[in-house]
């Protein structure tokens, strides 16, 4: 089935107990076992099935099944937030003394997690400029566990060269983990370009309404964890947290995603709420329609701003430099280049703040991915915890404003931007 059909029909056709066409909200903590033997088998992972909503729930299962189908993967685990998804994706295969190589063009919260929080736990993030994919290879040693990047980096919007970095990842024997939040599988499916694991903040475009917080990790099943077993002891060696289980021996291609559920989700407890899983499943049903409108509006806004006298420069994939345009066309094959626009306005920090404060149709919020148009000044908010030199190297200048273009009428969006810019 095609993407927009899968978005509606993947997962359960109907609830098996009631026949409900829409998967119900299973608002329960626990699940009844048939007998003691069944309970024992489920805890030993000898039988599938529900145990406790911290580790799984039928409403969450349906959302996970849909995302797995849309990404073309073999399994997924939903989490309490996008940040939870990223943290678990890292800790599932990294321990103290390990490192990973990541693009420096990341959402500010992720940059801080990688540079400071994980560092406190002995896990090193090695930041590189993804404009030259070979920078990833140059940072690899025998303790490197994976590569990381954002498909559509928030808020720089300089497309990540997935296929080229994935090729290097395969050559050195590590997986490539992609944060596909801002592109969504409606615009780009990283597994088709060689990526191995995807993470998302479902809060954003997947939900689409700004009502719920959640995240998800999706596994392609295409990375061979056994081939370079010495790199991944947490996957290949006996795990004392579950009777010495060897994940690759028992679960094969599913080893990574099963381990993430059974160790990360079970023991850290950052699970998705059933109500939120329900809302995200509903959001998926209109994802392709919304993303098409978001992108059409965003390109009109980018072209308008690119010729505005109060603007220094505009960041949008269709306006990328010729040497990077090849990556844009490779990943975004439908002529839809993303729902966000970055703009550097005259006047530096004060100019950026003034534009945000004077927008009337736009909401001034830290979220992205809503149907409403939203704006924020990253240097003083989302990326304020990053040292200025690092922030500017990542393309976040003092006058930079992040615009999340909604699905309103494009003429109204442009008129609001024009009157706000006039006040600089």
* Among the four given CATH numbers 3.40.50.1100, 3.40.50.1220, 3.30.360.10, 3.40.640.10, the one describing domain 10-282: 3.40.640.10
Q: Centre a 10 Å sphere on the Cβ of residue 290 and count the other Cβ atoms it contains.
A: 22
The per-residue pLDDT for range 69-108, each reduced to its tens digit, is: 999 999 999 999 999 999 999 999 999 999 999 999 999 8
Say which residue, 81 or 14, is predicted with more confidence: 81
pLDDT > 80? residue 168: yes
Domain borders along the chain are: 10-282, 287-421
Backbone angles phi, psi at 310, to 5 degrees: -95, 10
pLDDT of residue 218: 98
Q: What is the mean pLDDT of residues 359-374?
A: 95
Using alpha carbons, list the distances in angstroms from residue 273 to 179, 181, 249, 315, 368.
21, 19, 31, 36, 20
pTM over the 0.85 mark = yes
Options 3.90.1300.10, 3.90.1150.10, 2.120.10.30, 3.40.50.2300; CATH of 287-421: 3.90.1150.10
User: What is the average per-residue pLDDT within 330-346?
Assistant: 94
The region, left, alpha or beta by phi > 0 then psi within -120 to 50, assigned to residue 306 is alpha
Confidence of residue 161 (pLDDT cuts 50, 70, 90): very high
Q: How confident is the model at residue 322 (pLDDT cuts 50, 70, 90)?
A: confident
Q: How far apart are CA 352 and CA 420, in angstroms?
A: 10
pLDDT in tens, 232-250: 999 999 999 999 999 999 9
What pLDDT shows up at residue 388?
Answer: 83
Give 383-395 pLDDT, tens digit per residue.
Answer: 777 788 878 877 7
Tokens 């220094």 -> residue: 312
For residue 59, what pLDDT is reported?
Answer: 96
Q: Work out the pLDDT band at 56, boundaries 50, 70, 90.
A: very high
Name the least confident of 7-11, 242-246, 262-266: 7-11
């Amino acid at each position: 089935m095609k993407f927009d059909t899968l978005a509606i029909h993947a997962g359960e056709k109907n609830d098996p107990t009631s026949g409900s066409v829409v998967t119900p909200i299973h608002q329960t903590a626990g699940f009844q076992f048939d007998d003691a033997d069944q309970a024992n088998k489920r805890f030993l992972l000898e039988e599938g099935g529900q145990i406790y909503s911290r580790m799984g729930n039928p409403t969450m299962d349906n959302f996970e099944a849909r995302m797995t189908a849309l990404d073309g993967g073999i399994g997924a685990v939903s989490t309490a937030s996008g940040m939870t998804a990223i943290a678990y994706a890292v800790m599932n295969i990294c321990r103290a003394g390990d490192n990973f190589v990541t693009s420096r063009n990341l959402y500010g919260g992720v940059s801080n997690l990688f540079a400071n929080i994980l560092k406190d736990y002995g896990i090193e993030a090695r930041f590189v400029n993804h404009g030259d994919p070979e920078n990833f290879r140059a940072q690899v040693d025998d303790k490197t566990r994976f590569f990381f990047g954002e498909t559509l980096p928030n808020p720089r919007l300089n497309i990540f060269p997935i296929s080229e970095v994935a090729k290097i990842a395969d050559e050195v024997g590590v997986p490539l983990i992609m944060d596909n939040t801002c592109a969504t599988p409606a615009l780009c499916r990283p597994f088709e370009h060689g990526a191995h694991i995807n993470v998302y903040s479902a809060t954003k475009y997947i939900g689409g309404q700004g009502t719920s917080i959640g995240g998800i990790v999706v596994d392609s099943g295409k990375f061979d964890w056994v081939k370079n077993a010495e790199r991944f002891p947490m996957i290949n060696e006996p795990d004392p947290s579950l009777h010495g289980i060897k994940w690759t021996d028992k679960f094969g291609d599913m080893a990574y995603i099963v381990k993430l559920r059974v160790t990360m989700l079970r023991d850290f407890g950052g699970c998705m709420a059933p109500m939120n899983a329900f809302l995200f499943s509903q959001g998926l049903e209109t994802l392709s329609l919304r993303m098409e409108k978001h992108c059409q509006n965003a390109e009109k806004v980018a072209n308008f701003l690119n010729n505005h006298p109060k603007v220094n420069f505009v960041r949008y994939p269709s306006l990328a430099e010729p040497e990077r345009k090849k990556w844009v066309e490779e990943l975004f094959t439908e002529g839809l280049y993303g729902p966000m626009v970055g703009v550097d306005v005259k006047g530096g920090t004060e100019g950026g703040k003034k534009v945000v404060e004077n927008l009337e149709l736009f909401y001034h919020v830290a979220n992205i991915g809503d149907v409403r148009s939203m704006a924020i000044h990253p240097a003083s908010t989302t990326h304020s915890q990053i040292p200025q030199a690092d922030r500017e190297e990542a393309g976040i200048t003092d006058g930079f404003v992040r615009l999340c273009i909604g699905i309103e009428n494009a003429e109204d969006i442009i008129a609001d931007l024009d009157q706000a810019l006039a006040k600089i």
